[in-house]
Amino acid sequence: MHANVLKYFVEVARCSSIRKAAQNLFVASSAVNRQILKLEAEMGTELFDRLPNGIRLNAAGERVLQHIRATLNDFHLMRSELDDLKGDRNGHVSVAAMDSLFVDFLPATVEEFSEVYPAVTYSIAAVPPHDVPARLVSGEYDLGISYITKLPAGLDIMVEVSLPPGVVMAASHPLAKRERINFDDCRSQAFLRLEGRSPIQGVVTADFPEFWESLQPSLTCNSTTLLKRLIASGRGISFFSKLAFVDELARGEVVWRPLDDENVNALTVGIIAPSQRALPHVTIEFLDRMARRLKHIELALQEA
């Protein structure tokens, strides 16, 4: 039921490249190619369009991928149920989340959960906020954490907290004296930008894209950890939720100020899960731990 061909097919579909999939699987490209050709022969149709710069799933391939992911999900669910019957505490948890949660929130949750479920394995991916829902809809991950905007069909919000993005800066920064900060205030400041699309794009005024593109950031990178250190040392300002700076805010190293935009201030952070797919027991337990931790942080930051 779960031969190498299924694993190879999913990885090739994800990478759109047999060579890259082979590298990720630590096998020869020829072995992966043979398995794909074998599967296509068994299906009686090609599953990929062969392109000059790689391969791409066609309509038949998309249907096969959907079936494989559903089969793998049912398999993991069955394994989890068997483990429950045996009294074992193992299984697999898969989460797609915003990068800022990888600094403290997710490591602490995994550490806590591993005390009770030491045999559980994890797949946890840092994903841009706007891409998190798609990763769940595709079946690639079971749980997601992101800013909550309009969700596609098939996803439910399991818990939601009021932790919108705002401007974060060193406590000594001149803007720290303001109660609210507008976009024009940010133009003249050294700005540290997280690479990619801003999470507040699409919920703010129509002129925000122009502001965002006109910024000349002092630094652009894809690491929240790096930005946090530079912000705390006074090298610039950035847009983040308080969730990314819980400890620094508690120690008074940085301050957070809301943006002067009601749409941004209404943004929430939430945990989302598929509504039509049964989740294994261990995933539900991990979801509960994340939800409790998220609510606890929201309360602590409100009282600070």
d(CA 8, CA 21): 7
Q: Which run of H or E residues covers position 256?
A: strand 254-258
Mention every residue, 6+ apart, whose C-beta is less than 8 A from residue 55. Answer: 12, 16, 17, 18, 48, 49
Tokens standing for residue 111 = 């550490």
Higher pLDDT, 194 or 242: 242
Domain ranges of the chain: 4-63, 89-159+268-303, 165-264
Higher pLDDT, 24 or 208: 208
Q: What is the pLDDT of residues 49-105, one digit of tens each?
A: 998 888 999 999 999 988 888 877 777 677 666 666 665 567 899 999 998 899 889
DSSP label of 2: -
> What is the C-alpha to C-alpha distance for residues 180 and 267, in angstroms, rounded to an integer?
16
CATH superfamily of 89-159+268-303: Periplasmic binding protein-like II (3.40.190.10)
In angstroms, what CA-CA distances link 293 with 43, 69, 112, 255, 286?
Answer: 46, 30, 10, 22, 11
CA 132/CA 144 separation, integer angstroms: 6
Distance in angstroms (rounded) separating the CA atoms of residues 240 and 156: 24
Contacts of 62 (CB under 8 A, 6+ apart): none
Structural element, H or E, at residue 229: helix 224-232
pLDDT of 144 above 80: yes
Are 69 and 57 within 8 A, CB to CB?
A: no
Side chain identity at residue 258, one-letter code: P
Q: Over the stretch 201-231, which tens digit does the pLDDT of each residue have?
A: 666 656 677 778 888 899 998 888 899 999 9
Which of the 8 DSSP states describes residue 152? P
Most confident among 3-12, 66-75, 166-175, 200-209 (mean pLDDT)? 166-175
> What DSSP character marks residue 151?
P
**Element holding 91 (H helix, E strand):** strand 90-97
Alpha-carbon distance of 263 to 298, in angstroms, equals 19
The reply to whether 89-159+268-303 and 165-264 are identical in fold is: yes
Alpha-carbon gap, residue 228 to 96, rounded angstroms: 21
Tell me which residue of 96, 108, 138 sits closest to 247, measured CA to CA.
108
Q: Which of 73-87, 251-265, 284-298 has the lowest mean pLDDT?
A: 73-87
Q: Are 151 and 271 in contact (CB under 8 A)?
A: no
Reading across the β-sheet that carries 90-97, which strands appear in turn? Answer: 119-126, 90-97, 143-148, 268-274, 155-161
The verdict on domain 4-63 having CATH code 1.10.760.10 is: no
Model confidence over 146-162: pLDDT tens digits?
999 888 899 999 999 99
| CATH 2.40.30.10 holds for 165-264 | no
At 29 the pLDDT is: 83
